Amino acid sequence: MTVVTIDKDICTGCQECTKVCPVYAIEGNPREPQKIVEERCVNCGQCVQKCKSYVSLVDHGAELYAQKRAERHLPETVAEPLFAAYNVCHLDEVITALNSPKFTMVMAAPAVRVALAEDFGMPLGSLTPGKMAAAMRKIGFKRVYDTNWSADLTIMEEGTELVKRVTSGGTLPMFTSCCPAWVKYMEDQHPELTKHLSSCRSPQQMSGPMFKTYGAKLNKVDPKDIFLVSVMPCTAKQFECSRPEMNASGQRDVDVAITTRELAYLIKYYGIDFNSLPDEEFDMPLGDYTGAGTIFGVTGGVMEAAIRTGYTLITGKELNGKDIDIKTVRSTEGFRTAEIKVGDLTLKVGVLTYLKNIDPIIEKLKAGTLDLHFIEVMSCPEGCVSGGGQPKLVLDADVPEAYKSRRESTFAHDKNLPKRKSHENPAIKKVYDEFLKEPCGEKSHHLLHTTYRGSGGHH
């Protein structure tokens, strides 16, 4: 499935994209159109963020602009420059579903709420979960849920899986599996190592089967009538939801993934004045989340969320006060390790940010010298806040400031939420009581876990 592509009519061959591609998947001569080698591409969309060659209404006229906009299936309300590197847009499918009798549901990932407002002229990193929920409801979605809820669910499953691997001699180190670009890289380049990946689906792909089984019951609708849209900071999520094995609910688990940028297009298409919207809540219970769920959006966040709950799973005690902030894993460096005392166990962890830094880690893994229990990997430079689907930063000078502001907003959101550990989320407790029974149990295994190419699993 093509997710990210370069328009040869627009590309000037400046090769800025080749510098940011973490897997060296872009080829071509200087000053000639570049080409993406699909076999190597992980769909991270960093080239989309970096691209500077564009077609605009002002410089190139209405005819060429309209042609390019139509080729990309963009709404007619889009009037901003169209860049050579872009991700394939699925908004036409979303608009069709909204105009149909389908029971439409939408969810937004943690990093969307700290970036969406930038496309409406607000300061970089503005935190707007309430406006975002209001906008999605105004667009006409019948239920406005939150991927943060399933980030909390992911921690329950992943934390339990980690404890099992550590205590019963499972494959270690265990790597996080919530970044689909990273998963694709492992399957394509190192299929023999995919057994090191957590079997947990990503929060997006946990939401799908949960919203179409448990959520269908709550809403008294037939799962076949549900159309689920996810809003992601990420272009690789489009690839992930189209994977053939992502149908644990009996349907396609997530129907369409759109980017933060595309949600902004949609809000403008429906003529909604985002900045003046009063804050609204997400629909409950599948919109309830903790601080642990929201920090999934930054590099180190999945690790920190996992430790907050893993500590309780291992010791039976709670982290409180300052101890909840596990600053040793909050990193924007290439690779950082930490040792964390969890009762009698010293948990050895690693946080890798930006897939460009992965090679030495893979070499150590192959050599058997990677002495760690658990490693978080994010393909993008500072995790999901810097994803390929976030608002485009045309000026390079804005990039560090945007990443920093989005990170700070994420941690502020975490700090100000009443509950900050996934296992404290009442909606998560309820779903285990009523439906899943236990983390990593039989039902969870079917709905919330997966296998990988190379591990004797799906192709």
Which is the catalytic residue, given 93, 245, 281, 318? 245
The pLDDT of residue 322: 86
Q: What is the pLDDT of residue 455?
A: 57
Helix extents (H) in 230-358: 236-241, 260-269, 291-294, 301-315
237 flagged as catalytic: yes
The 3-state secondary structure of 138-187 reads: HHCCCEEEEHHHHHHHHHHHHHHHHHHHHHHCCCCCEECCCCHHHHHHHH
In this prediction, residue 343 carries a pLDDT of: 87
Q: Which residues of the chain have pLDDT under 70?
A: 455-459
Say whether 126 is catalytic: no
pTM: 0.95
Choose among 172, 174, 424, 198: nearest CA to 312.
424
**Paired tokens of 351:** 């946080």
Catalytic residue among 237, 268, 348, 421: 237
Q: Which of 11, 41, 50, 161 is catalytic?
A: 161
Is 199 among the residues known to form the active site? no
17 is catalytic: no
Q: What is the 3-state secondary structure (H, E, C) of 428-441?
A: HHHHHHHHHCCCCC
Taking the C-alpha atoms of residue 390 and residue 98, their distance in angstroms, rounded to an integer, is 23
281 tagged catalytic: no
- Rounded to the nearest angstrom, the gap between the alpha carbon of residue 93 and the centroid of all alpha carbons in its chain is 20
Reported as a single tens digit per residue, the pLDDT across 266-324 is 999 999 999 999 999 999 999 999 999 999 999 999 999 999 999 999 899 999 888 89
Q: Is 241 a catalytic residue?
A: no
Phi, psi (deg, nearest 5) at residue 161: -65, -40
Name all domains of the chain by residue range, CATH numbers in brackets: 1-88 (3.30.70.20), 144-448 (3.40.950.10)
Residues with Cβ within 8 Å of residue 162, at least 6 apart in sequence: 174, 198, 306, 310, 373, 374
Q: Of these residues, 179, 384, 405, 455, which one is catalytic?
A: 384
- Phi and psi angles of residue 51, each rounded to the nearest 5 degrees, phi first: -55, 135
Please give the structure tokens belonging to residue 416: 């100000």
Point out the catalytic residue in the list 198, 249, 405, 409: 198
Burial class of 250 by CB neighbour count within 10 A (0 to 12, 13 to 18, 19+): exposed
- CA 188 to CA 93: how far, in whole Å? 29
User: Omega of the bond prior to 22 within 30 degrees of 0, cis?
Assistant: no
pLDDT at 456: 47
